[in-house]
Chain A
Amino acid sequence: MSDNNKKWFSLNLNFSSKQKSSSDSCGCGKTTGGCNSSTDNDVSHEEFLDAAVNASIGEERRKDGFEQVFDVKMDRRTAFKKLTASLMIGAGAVSTSCSMIAGEETKEKAQIDWEEQFKGNYKLMTDEEKQGTVDRLVRSYQLRTGKNISMSSKNAEEDVLFGYAFNISKCKGYMDCVNACVEENNQDRDSQMQYIRIHEMKEGKGFNFNEADDNYYHEVPAEGHFYMGTQCFHCDNPPCVEVCPVQATWREDDGLVVIDYDWCVGCRYCMAACPYDGRRFNWSKPEVPEEEVNKNQHYLGNRMRKKGVMEKCTFCVQRSRAGQNPACVEACPTGARIFGNLLDPESTIRWVLENKKVFRLKEDLGTEPKFWYFMD
């Protein structure tokens, strides 16, 4: 693999950039050390750091996909564990694919499972690889259920940065958004997991989440109360992304914070790191009745999840990247939810930000959520 093909995870130690700047700008032509430094054995801090990083995880910085899985230094115990697990899958795949009795479909299924097991991180995939995994998932669904779905791997569009505004004066707590979200995003029906929470708050008490009720059931709007919704705020500086030990979650170029459900190990660090309670965990296998499955899917969005992975609001990536409003925006009967492109100076979201008195939750944390609240 060529070195300039930057597909690996690089530790952001500000190292390479510093060295480059000094070598570029230095008049003496030396690429290392200072201009008048002798070529002695002094090791600079950066060089030491680099050497240390190289010695510990150097090779892994240059690997992807198969190499990442197969070409790793590990102790005997881990090696045996991995080998056994892979052997089980492998043996299954080999036995079915070589078997004379197994049908073509079973063989294909095994082949898909094999390739899916060893695919790389979606973030590192080329467009062809993304299309490949999406095609496999569609075919796999077809083989298992006999039904066709459409799944997209559409990338972020240029000149698009998604933002959201929420009108506290207009929200009346009808919860139509929650219903629409559950249906659109194929959320588990049994556990009643919901991305959106609507908080009923007493007027005159401000934003007091301790006394707010997010599971009311009475005629709304209730007198003396106001309503505000929370969900994933798609922070521009997302703490959930920082803490993920396997880089299964990241911020896309159009601002969406997304999860690769196939890369997530379910450690729930991100859930703990999110100051807004925006992330959800699948404690059980998500089940959606076949006739209710939304078949318009995106790899990073509403495709079917597994047990033990994180999920959250994606601003309906399957809809928003195609130009449609997210399901919650479309379902809201009051017009309290406004969605749009922050980079378009003519967009309605920009008008709201520039002309209404907007604020965000916990702004002092520096998470830079792209979700603004405002009042009439």
Chain B
Amino acid sequence: MSKYILSTKYWSLILCISILYSCKNHEDEYHSIHDKIEAKSKDYKGTSISSDSYIDHVKTVEITEGNHTFLIPERKSQLQSYACMECHTKPLSEMQKNNELYKKAHWNISLNHANENIMNCITCHNGKNMDKLHSLTGNQIDFNNSYVLCSQCHTKQFDDWKGGAHGKRIGSWAPPRASLTCVNCHDPHKPHIESRWPARFNTEKVKERK
């Protein structure tokens, strides 16, 4: 009798283990791709792949916002007439007084961003120090960090951009991350993007579907 009980024990043990094994040995060990990602990234050690060679054609600066640290293109060296102090030697209010003495500058810029109740030039530009931008509360902001200005109103876009859901990565998916900043795509004076024609039209598809 005891021998019989022992053997049933063995049998149930074998059954259990074989069920366990057969589940484990199924083509896919994971129930879903999310389980797989979670399990496999637990002891993620990083890869040998780096983005360095794909972003070295862009001069970048590192920024840290919240939990995110990444590179954005350096801006000041890309601005044609920076530093502004080379012309703006006096505060704007004084320069505007003797208007006829100076050549008209920035005639090609017209502000088409929100309405005049919300924005004008000095919402972002600092008439007393043209080399810097300033926030709504009057804090100085460097041209390289112009995204700080945008983030004052566009908070949702700012959150998405920090995380990587808005905007565009430069070159590589690998770390270190380099992303374009707001003004690389949106003209801050005219942020709306115009419609245009698609890059191509498939004429063969038209024939196939006749």
Contact = CB atoms under 8 A, between A and B. Distances in A.
Given A159-B45, A220-B196, A355 B165 contact: yes
Task: Classify chain A: how many residues form its interface, as a range.
Answer: 35 or more
A36 interface: yes
Contact of A348 (B18, B36, B165, B185): B165
Contacts of B17: 21-22, 25
A194 interface: yes
A68 to B, nearest CB: 23
Contact of B164 (A175, A325, A352): A352
B5 interface: no
B155 interface: no
B196 A329 contact: no
B198 A175 contact: yes
A343 B41 contact: yes
The DSSP consensus for interface residues of chain B is loop
B168 A332 contact: yes
A157 B47 contact: yes
B204 A192 contact: yes
Interface in B162-210: 163-169, 171-175, 177, 180, 185, 193, 195-206, 209
Given A25-B13, A324-B54, A347 B173 contact: yes
A237 interface: yes
Given A22-B14, A159-B44, A338-B164, A325 B199 contact: no
A335 interface: yes
B32 A368 contact: yes
Contacts of A28: 10
B160 interface: yes
Interface string B145-169: 0000000000011001001111111
B173 A320 contact: yes
A123 to B, nearest CB: 15
B7 A36 contact: yes
B118 to A, nearest CB: 21
Contacts of B54: 323-325
A44 to B, nearest CB: 12
A159 B168 contact: no
A194 B202 contact: yes
Task: Classify chain B: how many residues form its interface, as a range.
Answer: 35 or more
Contacts of B41: 342-345, 350
B197 A157 contact: no
Contacts of B101: none
Nearest to B159: A355
B200 A323 contact: no
Contacts of B203: 192
Interface stretch (B20-28, B56-64, B109-117, B136-144): B20-28
Interface in A73-115: none
Contacts of A17: 21-22, 25
A342 B200 contact: no
A269 interface: no
Interface string A124-145: 0000000000000000000000
Interface in B5-51: 7, 10-11, 13-14, 17-18, 20-22, 25-28, 32-33, 36-37, 40-41, 44-51
Top 8 closest pairs, chain A to chain B, by CB: A348-B164, A335-B168, A351-B163, A21-B21, A17-B25, A192-B204, A323-B49, A175-B198
Given A35-B11, A158-B47, A176-B199, 7 more contacts: A17-B25, A20-B21, A25-B13, A28-B10, A343-B41, A348-B163, A376-B166
